Each structure stands twice: as structure tokens, then as C-alpha cells.
Amino acid sequence: MTNEKKSMKTSTKIILLGLLAILAVGGYFGVKFYKVFFAANTSGKVKYLYVRTGHHLDDLFEEIRRTDALTEIGTFSQAAAKMDLARSLKPGRYKLTKGMNNRSIINMLKSGNQDPVKLKFQNLRKKENFAAYLSANLEPDSLTFINVLDSVALIEKYGFNKDNSYVMFIPNTYEMYWNVTALDFFDRMHKEYEKFWTDERKQKAAALNLTPIQVSILASIVDAEALYDKEMPIIAGLYLNRLNKGILLQADPTVIFANNDFTVKRVTNSLLQVQSKYNTYKYAGLPPGPIMMPSINAIDAVLNRDQNNYIYMCAKEDFSGYHNFAVTVQEHELNAKKYREALNKRNIFK
């Protein structure tokens, strides 16, 4: 073999080796690039990643470690640095689904493309219960919500006061972002309240000589009394009869609310002595505010009340949850006697 041929063969080997080296290096970086940006980094189970308002990248990494939101935090850290996530991290609640890669996750976090929360609330007894529910599902804590709910300047701006502002929250299912502020939440709920009180509902309230707020306060009593929705219009008609005749409402749920003891199964004479505007055995008319968050069914039951002559009601002695209704006090006393005897038989004295 001539020296020239040997030289060519050597050169070819060098070139091939060089190409192989380039391919090897390229393959290495290609695989690494793929793992950092395009390889799946979530498990099969849906998880949520929470980025609190004011949090930075370090806080995000801590949240990922705490919740095991990603299968590989190292590659995510590299991708986050390359994609400059630190400068444009948006707060929110982000849904991580199977097969998501770092690139798609980071783009989601940078754009703020979060998954909304579905809030479904009803029959919450007090504002404190409501604030606790909201703080369990949204970013602001319960104290923040309470401060807004009790803000005199804010609630008066919308035509309410501290006693009756709770009627503004119409029980339903709502979608909103997890990091909504307490003020924006309040504003959204007021818009929903105005949407709910259509001209038709307002006209029905006016026909009863009640304001929408008064309808909701009465509805809260109806809601507390009725175990079954089909009894609501009857109970509403009864209480409207009492209001129109100037008779004390004498609604047991208002006494229980006034005593702030919701374990009571039997309203006794000692409980009736409580000095509170919510005690409808002592004070005429409606209480100053709702005794619970009234449901839409209860509000509409008041607006579409049954036109009856009932003045009295008493729980049925069979403990079915239904009531015996009466027009006269004599009828009522017979019903009440049967119920008292049933309570005594079951040793229910308070």
C-alpha cells in the first residue's frame, strides 16, 4: 500500500471518528434537551400546583417538593432557568395532568393559565362558617374575608348593613380563580345578587310589601324550619299571615340562633328569655338579619308563598320532619301536646 493510500485511509478514519464524536455529543445534548423540555414530568394522577401571591421561584420549588407535584424537579429547575420563569411567574391554581412536560408547565405558569375553582355553597349558618369555607377553597384567609364581610363602608356602598349583608350571597355554584382577592370576590357576589333579583322577583317582593332583603331574612327562617322543600311555601304563607296580622313570628330557629346553641332539639322556656332582636318570641316583625344563608328554593318559596290561613305550626309527633299546621290556637294546642308527649317519650328535654 502506498503512503498516499495509507494517508487517505487514516484521514477517513479520523473524519469518521470525528463524525461519531459529533453525533455522540449531539445525541447526548439532544437527549438532555429533550429530557429538560419535552419529556413527561407528571404522573398519571391529576395534581394541583398552588402559587401564592407574592411568591417567588424558590417558594414554587418548595411547593413542588412538598406536594410531589413533579416526578423530576432537577430538569424542571433547568428548564425554568432557561425559560426565565423567575421573571414572569404568575400566582394561581394550576392543574397538572398526565404527560405534561416542563415546557408546557412553565408556559402555563408564565401565562397565568390557571384552572378555576368551583365554589358551591348553601345552608351555611353564619358568616364565620362562610369565611372558613371560602378560605379553604380560595387564597385569602378567613380573617381577610371576615374583615371584608364586616366592612361597614363596603357593605353600605351596596345598600346593606352588618346585620343583613349575609343575604347578598346567593347560594349556587360559581367558577372563579383561586387567587381572587376578597374585595373582587365580594364585588362578583354583588353582581350575582343583582342578576338574581330580576324585575319579576322584585315585583313579587313588592306585592308582599317586602324588600328583597326582608324576603331573604324571612327565607332564612323558612329554610331553618323546613326539612322538605315542598313545605316551604306553606311555612312562608304562615309567617306572612303572622306578619300581616302583627302577630309575633315565634319561630323556634330564631331563638336557637339568638342563644347561639345549635345543638338544641327542644326550645324550652329558659331559652325563650334570651334578650336578642333575633328572639321572635319577644320582638315583633322580622329579625334584623338572616339566621342562616337562605337557599334559592326558600327565597322563591316566600315570593310564591302558599295562600293559606295558617297561623300555627308544630313538628309532627312521628318525627318525620313534616309539620302539623293550624288556623286556631285550639288546634295548635292539640298538635303541640302530641309533639311534647313524643319528645318526653324519647327523653328529649333540651
The grid coordinates listed for 114 are: 390557571
pLDDT at site 10: 61
User: What are the DSSP calls for 300-346, one per residue?
Assistant: HHHHT-------EEEE-TT-SS-EEEESSHHHHHHHHHHHHHHHHHT
pLDDT at site 24: 45
Q: Which residues of 45-80 are buried (b: 16+ CB within 10 A; e: fewer)?
A: eebebbbeeeeebeebeeebeeeebbeeeebbbbbb
pLDDT at site 264: 84
Q: CA dihedral in degrees (295, 299, 301, 306; nearest 10)?
A: 150
pLDDT at site 262: 87
Q: Which residues, listed in sequence order, are joined to residue 93 by a DSSP beta bridge?
A: 50
Do residues 102 and 76 make contact, with C-beta atoms less than 8 angstroms apart? Answer: yes
pLDDT at site 13: 60
The grid coordinates listed for 298 are: 326558600
- Comparing C-alpha atoms, which of 226, 228, 207, 211 is closest to residue 286? 211
pLDDT at site 25: 45
Q: Report pTM.
A: 0.85
The grid coordinates listed for 122 are: 348553601
Q: Which residues, listed in sequence order, are joined to residue 192 by a DSSP beta bridge?
A: none
What does the H/E/C string look like for 48-98? Answer: EEEECCCCCHHHHHHHHHHHCCCCCHHHHHHHHHHCCHHHHCCCEEEEECC
Q: What is the mean pLDDT of the chain?
A: 90
Cα separation of 248 and 280, whole Å? 6
Determine phi and psi for 268, rounding to 5 degrees.
-100, 170
Q: Give per-residue pLDDT as tens, 94-103.
A: 999 999 999 9
Angle, alpha carbons 99-101-104 (nearest 5°): 115
pLDDT at site 29: 44
Cα separation of 78 and 57, whole Å? 12
What residues of the chain score a pLDDT lower than 70? 1-31, 33, 349-350
Q: Give per-residue pLDDT as tens, 149-187.
A: 899 999 999 999 999 999 999 999 999 999 999 999 999
- Comparing C-alpha atoms, which of 124, 133, 320 is closest to residue 230? 320
Cα separation of 147 and 157, whole Å? 15
Cα separation of 91 and 53, whole Å? 5
- Comparing C-alpha atoms, which of 275, 273, 276 is closest to residue 288? 276
